[in-house]
Amino acid sequence: MVSSNTYSLLTWLYTQKVEPGFATIYFRITINSKRANISLNKKVKIDSWDNSKSKFKGNSNEARIINQYLKEEESKIAKAYQELEYEEKLITAQLVKARYLGTDQKHKSLQDLITYHNQFVEKKIHKDTLRSYKTSQKYLWSYINEKLNTSNIYLKELDYQFLLGFETYLRSYQPTNGQLKIQNNTVMKHIQRLRKMIKMAVELEWINKDPFIRFSPTIEKKQREYLTENELNKIQNYHSKIERLRLVKDLFLFSCYTGLSYIDIRNLSPDNIAKGIDGNNWIITKRQKTGISVKVPLLEPAEKLIKSSTENYRKIDFNKIFPTISNQKVNSYLKEIADCCGITKNLTFHMARHTFATTVTLSNGIPIETVSKMLGHTKLTTTQIYAKIIDKKVSEDMSILRNKFSENSHLARKNKVS
C-alpha cells in the first residue's frame, strides 16, 4: 500500500533549561504538518554543532560517537514509522514517537508477559508447576540484570541470540548454596518454560516473530535406573531400629508395589482405598502432577505396608495413610539404606516408580498397556521406555545363555575330534 503521509525528521538543539553555551539534542517528527518532539538527553556545546548538517562538528572521538548515535536513533524512528505503515495504522507523529519510545500498547515487555502468564495459569496448573515457572523466571531476570545490564526487555527484542545467551548463562551459573551446577536437561526445562510463555505471546499477537523457530533443544536421554529383584529383596529384608529409616523404607517399597510417586503417596488417604471390579482393594486417586486418574490394584506387600503404617507410626494428620516427611530427607535417608544394603546405585525415591514398571510388572508379564494405565501416563510411548529396558535385560541374559551354548558346542566338537 502506497503511503499518503508526509513524513520528515529534524534534528535540532533546544537551548532552554541548560547552562549557557550548551543545548540538548532533540528530534522533531513531522507527519502531515503535525509535530512531536523527542529529547535524546544528550547535551552538547552550541559552538560544536553544525546547524546546516544537524550533526556534531569535526572528527574527534566525541563527535564520531555522538554522530553515530544520532544515525542509529534516526534509523530506529524510521523503523517505527515503517512498522506502523505495515500494520496499516492511522499514523500520527505522536504514535511514531510512542512506538520509538516503546510506550505504545503494541510493545509489550517480558515483565508484561510474565505477569499475564502467571495470573492466567495460576488456577489451571498445580502450585508446584507454577513454582517451577517462577524459578525459571528468576533465572531469566538474573540473566537480564547481569548480562544485559537492564531490568526489563521488550518482547520485540527477544531473538535467537537472546536464547543462546540465556542457555549459556544457565550452563555457567554457579549456585551460591553449595549445590551442583545446573545439568543439561534442567537447563532445557528452564528454556522449555520460556518457550511456552513466548508461544502465549505469539498467540496474543504481542510479538510478531517466534525467536524459537531456529532453536533446537538438546535433551540427553538417560537410562532410567531401577532395582533388580535381588536388590528389591535386599531392601525388603532390611531392618533398622531407627524409625525414620523404617518409615522411608516402607514408603519406598509402597511405591515399588504401586507405582505411585512420592507426592501421590503423601496425599493418600483411607478414602482412596476402595473395592475394585474384582472385589479386592484398589487405590483410586489422581496424580497431582497431571490430574490424571489412576487405579491400581493393591498387591499383598502394599496392603501389609498400609496396615504397618496404621499400627507403627505416629501421624500428625490422621486422614493420611502415611506420616509426612520431606522429599529431600527421603532421598537422603534412602542413601543410608542403600549403603546398609550394599546397593551401589544412586537410590532415589523416583527409582521406586521405575522398579514398579520394570521388575514388578513388565518383567512378570503384565501388558504394557496395563502398566501405562496404572502409572497414569497419557502416552503409551512414555511407558515404552521401560519396555526397552526389559528388552535390554532379555538381550543381556540371552547373550550369557548364547555364550554358554556356544561353549558347550565347542567342547562337544572338540571331544568328537579327539
Query: Considering just the CA atoms, what is the radius of gyration of the chain in Å?
Result: 33
pLDDT for res 327: 73
Residue where the block lists cell 518409615: 247
Nearest to 208 by CA among 251, 157, 168: 157
pLDDT for res 407: 67
Q: Which CATH superfamily is domain 229-391 in?
A: Intergrase catalytic core (1.10.443.10)
Residue 29 CA from chain centroid, whole number: 44
Mean pLDDT value of segment 231-256 = 94
pLDDT for res 1: 45
Mean pLDDT value of segment 70-82 = 93
Give the C-alpha separation, 353 to 383, whole Å.
11
Mean pLDDT value of segment 81-96 = 85
pLDDT in tens, 111-166: 999 999 999 998 888 888 899 999 999 999 999 999 998 888 889 889 999 999 99
Is the pLDDT confidence value at 262 over 70? yes
Lowest mean pLDDT across 215-219, 247-251, 291-295 = 215-219
Give 152's Cβ-side CA count (13 Å radius).
12
pLDDT for res 31: 92
Nearest to 380 by CA among 360, 357, 396, 355: 357
pLDDT band at 393 (very low <50, low <70, confident <90, very high): low
Specify the long-range contacts of residues 88-97, CB closer than 8 Å, at least 24 apart: 88/1, 91/3, 91/5, 91/31, 92/31, 92/32, 92/34, 92/36, 93/29, 93/30, 93/31, 93/34, 93/35, 93/36, 94/34, 94/36, 96/29, 96/31, 96/36, 97/29, 97/36, 97/38
Is the pLDDT confidence value at 180 over 80? no
pLDDT in tens, 311-340: 777 776 778 999 888 877 898 999 999 999
**What pairs with residue 50 in β-bridges?**
55
pLDDT band at 416 (very low <50, low <70, confident <90, very high): low
pTM for the full model? 0.60
Is the pLDDT confidence value at 7 over 50? yes
pLDDT band at 411 (very low <50, low <70, confident <90, very high): low
Q: What are the φ and ψ backbone dihedral angles of 91, each rounded to 5 degrees?
A: -85, 130
pLDDT band at 179 (very low <50, low <70, confident <90, very high): confident
pLDDT for res 250: 95
Q: Could you tell me if 83 and 67 are in contact, meaning their C-beta atoms sit under 8 angstroms apart?
A: no
Specify the long-range contacts of residues 163-172, CB closer than 8 Å, at least 24 apart: 163/191, 163/194, 163/211, 163/212, 163/215, 166/140, 166/191, 166/194, 167/191, 169/139, 169/142, 169/143, 170/139, 170/143
Q: Angle of helix 229-236 relative to helix 243-258, nearest 10 degrees?
A: 140
Q: What are the φ and ψ backbone dihedral angles of 25, each rounded to 5 degrees?
A: -80, 135
